[in-house]
Structure 1
């Protein structure tokens, strides 16, 4: 499909400016700007419209035209890179992966490029760490660093997409070994924290060395704007599955994720704003969606809150939480809506990949985080069985960090304005458990029409909470 030809005069008359590119010995070439669709998302807060890139008029670049063959990882990486580069150079383009299984290493996207997987296409990603070098600017659990490239990576891009009904699949043989997190890995986490604490430049925080074994994300959009991920299936992941970091205007829809390794969250919008996650299916070994805003001093340095995040009409088969807030939230999190989402699993741990759902909404922080949490909404949600409850708030969640490092600076997290309504659950331990801090109570929490058919323990646990209300 070729780009539509539009006269420059007609575009000027309609107010559309075009970039002009001059090449030596040639007349200036006019390149059409990529169109955007403005998506309005209803929410109980001021949710700006989201700009969604429209590649319908963009030229296609099929990877086989650039030398791709199914079982040659090296040739496929070169072919995909060439197709992406050419699509970018002409103004916009759709890089097409045709039916078949294509072995590959890392893929780096560029602005105005859509990586499109045709029906029956699978990109099979290597588990050889050398395929994800040289190191790139990324992050590990809320701290910036240079580490192995995410399997698919975009840095500082505008108008970037992954679409199509094909599959992204990660080989996991080596990553499964790295899941074990031996002492060398834990020492590396301490090293990275200390580098951030002493404000060492991110470029000097080199983590892709030795036995640090900091696994790469599957997909990371880092400092990007106008991001679209649509229709693809994802199977397996070394680390977090889809990570929009410091992004703006992100749409993730009709995603089908199956990832049951360590830290295998589905989507982690971190320090990102204006994000829509809709019509997705999550089958996770960790949280389905976890909104984050960085860890401790690194997030205080960046100072960009996560804001305006909507998750709607999603189905969760397995996963620790339907929606987690934190625990990396040191730059603040506000304006989050979970609506019309449903946990459809059994909630019981069995052999295989069944992971019990702990909580539908879990706000988690600790005395080191600072930041803030406010204006969180969940409505029209159902679940079969929960190991925890509908709403949980915990202010002492440190996981392995409790013994790895002391508290260098105590900063509590103000948490307020959490509103839950129209929830129906079959079986749960509780409806609501809030464990706040005596020095900074959780404030302004409402539960309305929250029903659990079978409660296995006390329905409410409220510790250091001010202005709590529950109505039928």
Structure 2
């Protein structure tokens, strides 16, 4: 089902604004249900339906295009009024609107009209006080994501407008000097020792942990639709511990460091469709927490469908991990296509490496199972169709020793009906001798030109790749 955008945005007349508390709370927010056919039991996804909700124009609350403080305060007041009314659509009209962080509330949609741009400051002070968030799979209190919601239901970002953060400060922070790396070690040790999340205060000193662009944390019934994104300080769209997430017709271009497109982490029932990704990192990366925090939260990421998306640049089309300690299962990528030239564009973009990449290491534990990729095409890729690596540690190899060794059980990988013009290999699996990868099948996978060894399978049982 598709939300009728015309009715959603331009529906009936706008009621006059009422003072907070002068209007009785509206009935429960209506939901639409999306039934998604998948090669596993996929629950219907709840999508908030704002078509009957009142509109709250930010200029009515004092927004000014030449004043960041006024605009940020006006957006906050409009969100509060929409929430107090029972539900509402906060309208950002055409124009460029400077702001700091935006915190959504339940039953509120932030809608950007065509021609509207929210330009987010790169001043870290605009993202304080610190909020409960995470950094690469470890929970902490850090600078607020630029758009943030915590423990909300029925929240949305919609419209044909644009999110455009200023990146100057964040680009400096992405260099990861020693104080930043020391902060990562300190945060990891906090999790290892079981320190309460409220005491993991990271928005201090030279820690320089960049915030995500959008994070929905512990939310239910989330919709992101039609918007365009230009740049991100860190991960671009990060649903964390959410249930029922729909991301559709979103255009993302973010070429900086760690600029994944969408990172569903410890989420259930996620639909990503009709999107365009032009990334400096993975287009989509499914995650479920790092090491001790993943085990503590014990919330697998499951039931994720990605369909009809186009990828221009990115490390991987679909990555699974490496933060996967709570487990990942039931993932389906269908009718998605890498349409770039395989060389990467300018401005620090990267050529795509693999179409499906499962990555973990001896510290993660967790599991990966029931992963499907079908009906995918690509031009030239630097890696292959399917890659599995169980020794991916990046900078952590030298930052910290292995305190707890837990291998990741990986089984049930299905890839079919994939066509690639040129690749280094078709399939490369390097697994642990103590934990072989099990039950892998490739059907109708065609690579016109293979420049290296087509198949490498180390410690794999039940591998099938019919000619």
> Structures share a fold, TM > 0.5?
yes
Contact 1:330 1:371 in 2 (8 A): yes
Distance 1:195 1:45 in 2: 37
Q: Which whole-Å deviations, capped at 9, do the CAs of 1:397-452 have from their partners, x for residues lacking one?
A: 00000000000010000000000000000000000000010000000000000000
Say whether 1:121 aligns with 2:99.
no
The one of 381, 390, 405 equivalent to 1:386 is: 381
Say whether 1:407 aligns with 2:402.
yes
Say whether 1:70 aligns with 2:65.
yes
Distance 2:411 2:28 in 1: 43
The one of 346, 357, 363 equivalent to 1:362 is: 357
Say whether 1:142 aligns with 2:142.
no
Distance 2:43 2:393 in 1: 34
Q: Which whole-Å deviations, capped at 9, do the CAs of 1:166-202 have from their partners, x for residues lacking one?
A: 0000100111101100000000000000000001010
Say whether 1:327 aligns with 2:322.
yes
Contact 2:158 2:225 in 1 (8 A): yes
Q: State how 1:327-346 maps to structure 2 within 5 Å.
A: 327-346=322-341
Shift in Å, 1:267: 0.1
The 1:469/1:3 distance shift into structure 2, 3 A limit, reads farther
Distance 1:246 1:351 in 2: 34
Question: Counterpart in 1 of 2:425?
Answer: 430
Question: Counterpart in 2 of 1:224?
Answer: 219
Distance 1:444 1:97 in 2: 50
Q: Which whole-Å deviations, capped at 9, do the CAs of 1:216-264 have from their partners, x for residues lacking one?
A: 0000000000000000000100000000000000000000000010000
Distance 2:466 2:321 in 1: 27
Question: Counterpart in 2 of 1:298?
Answer: 293
The one of 252, 256, 261 equivalent to 2:256 is: 261
Q: State how 1:257-296 maps to structure 2 within 5 Å.
A: 257-296=252-291
Distance 1:327 1:34 in 2: 36
Shift in Å, 1:326: 0.1
Contact 2:164 2:229 in 1 (8 A): yes
User: Number of residues paired by the alignment?
Assistant: 453
Shift in Å, 1:29: 2.8
Question: Counterpart in 2 of 1:468?
Answer: 463
- SS at 1:29 equivalent: coil
Question: Counterpart in 2 of 1:243?
Answer: 238
Unpaired stretches in structure 1, ≥5 consecutive residues: 6-21
Question: Counterpart in 2 of 1:47?
Answer: 42
Q: Which whole-Å deviations, capped at 9, do the CAs of 1:136-163 have from their partners, x for residues lacking one?
A: 0000000000000000000000000000
The 1:88/1:134 distance shift into structure 2, 3 A limit, reads same
Q: Which whole-Å deviations, capped at 9, do the CAs of 1:350-375 have from their partners, x for residues lacking one?
A: 64344110000000000000000000
The 1:4/1:375 distance shift into structure 2, 3 A limit, reads farther
- SS at 2:238 equivalent: strand
Q: What is the CA RMSD across the aligned residues, in angstroms? A: 1.4
- SS at 1:304 equivalent: coil
Q: TM-score, normalised by structure 1?
A: 0.94
The one of 449, 452, 455 equivalent to 1:457 is: 452
Distance 1:128 1:30 in 2: 37
Distance 2:376 2:170 in 1: 34
Distance 2:421 2:339 in 1: 11
Distance 2:419 2:104 in 1: 42
Distance 2:45 2:306 in 1: 14
Question: Counterpart in 2 of 1:18?
Answer: none
Say whether 1:83 aligns with 2:78.
yes
Contact 1:2 1:58 in 2 (8 A): no
The one of 194, 201, 204 equivalent to 1:206 is: 201
